Amino acid sequence: MVHGTQPPRRMRFSFESRCRLVSLVLAGQSPQAAAAACGASRATGYRLWRRYREGGWAALADRAPVPKCQPRRLPLELEQRILAAREAAKAGPLIVAGQLGLPASTVWKVLRRYGVSRLPRPARGPVVRYERVRTTEAKAKEVRGIIDGMITTAKRGDLAARRRLISQLPREPLIVEKLMGELSEKYAERSSGYTRIVKIGERLGDAAPLVQIELV
């Protein structure tokens, strides 16, 4: 049980807290005594004092929680290949891993490290506005579930449903009105399956499968 006056283990101190601890050491206290006065461990006191002696006050700034030594990390060249394959294929870790012959978990960790583990969400507005849009099969399958969910929400017809649609389409008031009015009435007797996907060929250049997603 943690005492109410003691900080939790591995608590991250702010820059001001680190400077205060070091200031106490500069005032004549030992690193251990200064750490105790700030609610830190003895090891933290000596570590911050060492950082100050090596780099001054700037060395006490926040650092990314990444270990200095990562012996099992992939080479930078391979990470760049994974990022390039992701950009070219516009696909998830499973497909990229199959193209490069790497484990999907490894590819996912690299994409997550660089902040690109999620594909940008496809636009939902054009499908509702024009009721049919040509795009790649991967994007169509992703947007299909989103459109079906929005129509199901619109069929509830209450204020909470309208607010939810506005949060999903903040700059599309006309589409929100179409969902709440025309489409909710059109699919009143249908419980699901408001869209269909029709294959129309392949895209020139990368041969990505093209489809047309449309409202039923």
Say which CATH number the domain at 158 has: 3.90.1030.10
Confidence of residue 2 (pLDDT cuts 50, 70, 90): very low
Q: Has residue 215 got a pLDDT over 70?
A: yes
Q: Where are the alpha helices (DSSP H) in 5-41?
A: 15-26, 31-37
**d(C-alpha 111, C-alpha 133), whole Å:** 29
- Return d(Cα 48, Cα 15) in angstroms, integer: 11
Whether 41 is in a domain gets the answer yes
Give the tokens for residue 35: 């750490």
Across 39-58, average pLDDT:
91
The yes-or-no verdict on residue 14 having pLDDT over 80 is yes
**In what side-by-side order are the strands of the sheet with 209-215?**
132-136, 209-215, 195-202
Q: Of the candidates 39, 47, 43, 42, which has an alpha carbon nearest to the alpha carbon of residue 17?
A: 39
The reported pLDDT for the residue numbered 1 is 45
Domain shared by 27 and 83, yes or no: no
Residues 130 and 97 in one domain: no
Does residue 209 form part of some domain? yes
Same domain flag for 31 and 85: no
β-pairing, 209-215 vs 132-136, is antiparallel
pLDDT of residue 27: 93
Asked whether residue 198 is domain-assigned, the answer is yes
Quick one: pLDDT band at residue 133, thresholds 50, 70, 90?
Answer: confident
Going by pLDDT thresholds of 50, 70 and 90, the confidence category of residue 26 is: very high
Domain assignment of residue 21, yes or no: yes
Q: Contact, 26 vs 15, CB < 8 A?
A: no
Average pLDDT over residues 138-143: 82
Average pLDDT, the chain: 84
Whether residue 15 contacts residue 62, with contact meaning beta carbons closer than 8 Å, is answered with: yes
Residue 119 lies in a domain: no
Assess if residue 69 is contained within a domain.
Answer: no
Pair (208, 134) in one structural domain:
yes
Q: What was the pLDDT predicted at 8?
A: 47
Which residues are CB-neighbours of 8 under 8 A, at least 6 positions away?
A: 2
Q: Please compute, for residue 147, the number of CA atoms within 13 A of its CA located in the half-sphere on the CB side.
A: 31
Alpha carbon distance 199, 213 (integer Å): 9
Q: How many domains does the chain fold into?
A: 3
Tell me, yes or no, whether 136 and 170 share the same domain.
Answer: yes
Q: Do 38 and 94 sit in the same domain of this protein?
A: no
- The amino acid that residue 196 corresponds to is R
Is residue 26 assigned to a domain? yes
Answer whether residue 64 shows pLDDT above 80. no
Both 109 and 144 in one domain: the answer is no
Same domain, yes or no: 86 and 165: no
* Alpha helices for 38-103 (secondary structure H): 42-55, 76-89, 93-100
171: domain range? 125-215
Say if residue 207's pLDDT is above 80: no
Q: Is residue 67 part of a domain?
A: no
State the pLDDT confidence band at 86, using cuts at 50, 70 and 90: confident
CB 185 within 8 A of CB 192: no
Q: Distance between CA 43 and CA 62 in Å, rounded?
A: 18
Residue 92: predicted pLDDT: 78
